[in-house]
């Protein structure tokens, strides 16, 4: 039987390295001969049955108590690991690319440390909102002046965007809205306005353009239907007989007219209800305006402005 020979080994434990000459056949023997004591849960590298050779490095990693919080769930564990990353691997915790670990994976593990794994996931959805349509007015030579018709009713469009939200442990942590993009373009409302003139073929105003209007009457006083009317018109004329209110888009203000049943007039005023083929005739008295009432009249255009 040979004479036992001591081996020089390097034992790393408790933050220090011990260089010792010890007798023993395996790691268990030389560790028992050293001053290093193993506790429950400590990790020994290499394993206790590994044969010893001179220059061997033996590492003892102490098991420490830590608190681990994963996805909002807490638990207390006691394990041997040098870093946070080693501890999570020992616990078989898998990490996704978006997850966050606090402290970092490379941080040294210390007793009573709190390790947090924040589970992060991106979720996305699509938001929609209408795009209002516009209105277009086009001239139509087939329609008489003062008439209009809707060629297209119009249709709103649709715009959408993708909203991404980052959830941390099932709670929203960050929102990233994308840009709005029109996915369905709106269709405009198209209104055709007549430009065709009606020309008188006989009478005193033969060759003149005329239109048939619905006529009402008012006077410059307080008792008009809808409220009183002041003495001045929209273009600054004195209100009185011979001054009429028109829709300027049909008859330009300042145009000289002849109105059947009324006489010569000037388009010198406007009114909130005077739209299209409507004309409001000014009389000097309330009684005259009441007697006229509401009639269909021909309005001859004597000049154009």
Residues 222 and 249 grouped into a single domain: yes
In a domain, 90, yes or no: yes
**CATH assignment of the domain containing 286:** 2.40.40.10
Question: At residue 28, what are phi and psi to the nearest 5 degrees?
Answer: -60, -40
In a domain, 1, yes or no: no
User: What is the Cα–Cα distance from 9 to 198, expressed in whole angstroms?
Assistant: 118
Domain boundary among the residues 19, 40, 61 is at 61
Residues 296 and 257 grouped into a single domain: yes
Rounded to two decimals, what is the model's pTM?
0.53
Residues 141 and 209 grouped into a single domain: no
Residues 44 and 101 grouped into a single domain: no
**In the block, which residue shows the tokens 């087939």?**
142
In a domain, 2, yes or no: no
Residues 26 and 76 grouped into a single domain: no
CA 251 to chain centre: 45
Residues 73 and 57 grouped into a single domain: no
| Distances from the Cα of 147 to the Cα of 78, 189, 218, 260, angstroms | 90, 17, 24, 20
Question: At residue 87, what are phi and psi to the nearest 5 degrees?
Answer: -60, -45
The dihedral built from the CA positions of residue 162, 166, 172 and 174, taken in this order, carries a sign that is negative
Domain boundary among the residues 71, 97, 118 is at 118
When divided into structural domains, the chain yields a total of: 4
In a domain, 95, yes or no: yes
Domain boundary among the residues 144, 169, 194 is at 194
In a domain, 183, yes or no: yes
Q: What is the pLDDT along the chain (305 residues), one digit of tens a residue?
A: 456 778 899 999 988 998 988 888 999 999 988 888 889 999 999 999 999 999 999 999 999 999 999 988 999 999 999 999 999 999 999 999 999 999 999 999 999 999 999 999 999 999 999 999 999 999 998 888 778 899 999 999 999 999 999 999 999 999 999 999 999 999 999 999 888 888 888 888 898 999 899 999 988 877 665 555 667 787 788 888 999 999 998 899 999 999 999 999 999 998 888 888 899 999 999 899 999 999 999 999 998 65
Residues 46 and 113 grouped into a single domain: no
In a domain, 143, yes or no: yes
Q: Which domain holds residue 259?
A: 197-301
Residues 52 and 101 grouped into a single domain: no
Residues 226 and 149 grouped into a single domain: no
Residues 297 and 203 grouped into a single domain: yes
**CATH assignment of the domain containing 54:** 3.10.20
User: What is the Cα–Cα distance from 118 to 167, expressed in whole angstroms?
Assistant: 10
Residues 43 and 19 grouped into a single domain: yes
Residues 155 and 175 grouped into a single domain: yes
């Amino acid at each position: 039987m040979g004479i036992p020979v001591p081996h020089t080994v390097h034992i790393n434990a408790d933050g220090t390295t011990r260089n010792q000459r010890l007798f023993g056949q395996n790691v268990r023997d030389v560790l028992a001969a050293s001053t290093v004591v193993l506790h429950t849960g400590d990790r020994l590298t290499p394993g206790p049955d590994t044969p010893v050779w001179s220059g061997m490095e033996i590492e003892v990693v102490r098991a420490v108590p830590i608190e681990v919080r994963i996805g909002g769930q807490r638990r207390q564990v006691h394990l041997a690991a040098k870093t946070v990353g080693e501890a999570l691997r020992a616990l078989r915790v898998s990490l996704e690319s978006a997850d966050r670990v606090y402290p970092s994976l490379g941080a040294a593990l210390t007793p009573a440390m709190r390790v947090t794994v924040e589970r992060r996931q991106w979720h996305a959805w699509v938001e929609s909102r209408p795009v209002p349509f516009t209105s277009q007015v086009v001239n139509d030579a087939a329609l008489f002046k003062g008439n209009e018709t809707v060629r297209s009713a119009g249709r709103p469009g649709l715009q959408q965007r993708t909203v991404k939200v980052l959830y941390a442990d099932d709670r929203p942590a960050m929102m990233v809205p994308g840009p709005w993009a029109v996915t369905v373009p709106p269709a405009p409302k198209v209104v055709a306005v007549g430009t065709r003139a009606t020309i008188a073929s006989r009478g005193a105003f033969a060759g003149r353009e005329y239109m048939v209007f619905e006529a009402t009457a008012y006077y410059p006083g307080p008792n008009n239907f809808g409220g009183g009317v002041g003495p001045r018109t929209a273009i600054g004329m004195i209100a009185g007989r011979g001054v009429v209110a028109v829709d300027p888009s049909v008859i330009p203000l300042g145009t000289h007219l002849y109105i059947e049943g009324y006489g010569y007039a000037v388009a010198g005023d406007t009114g909130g209800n005077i739209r299209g083929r409507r004309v409001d005739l000014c009389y000097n008295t309330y009684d005259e305006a009441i007697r006229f009432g509401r009639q269909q009249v021909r309005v001859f255009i004597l000049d154009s402005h």
